[in-house]
Structure 1
Amino acid sequence: MMNGFRNALTALTCRESNRLLNTAVSTIQADNAAFYIHYWGSSLSHNTNMRHHHSFFEACFVVDGSGVYREDEAEYPLRAGTLFLSRPHRWHQIVSEPDMALLWVGFELDETQSSPEMTALFRRLASTETFLAESAWNTPAALCWQALWLQAEQSPSLLRLIAPDLAKSLLLSLPALFAADLPEEGGAAEHDGGRHLFRQASLYIRDNLSRPLRLEEVAEYLHISGRQLTRIFRSHSGMSFGDYVTSERLKKAHYLLKNTDLTTHAIAEQVGFGSVHYFTKVFAAKRGLPPAAYRKQLRSPL
Structure 2
Amino acid sequence: MAIFLNENSKIVVQGMTGSEGMKHTQRMLRAGTTVVGGVNPRKAGQKVDFEGNSLPVFGTVADAMAETGADVSVIFVPPAFAKSAVIEAIDSGIGLAVVITEGIPVHDSAAFWAHAVATEAESPGTPRTPRTRIIGPNCPGIASPGKSNAGIIPADITGPGSIGLVSKSGTLTYQMMYELRDIGFSTAVGIGGDPVIGTTHIDALQAFQDDPETESIVMIGEIGGDAEERAAAYIKEHITKPVVGYVAGFTAPEGKTMGHAGAIVSGSSGTAQAKKDALEAAGVTVGKTPSETARLLRDRVKA
Higher strand share: 2
Taking structure 1 as the reference length, the TM-score comes to 0.28
Structure number having the greater helix percentage: 1
* Larger CA Rg, structure 1 vs 2: 1
TM-score computed with the length of structure 2 as normaliser: 0.28
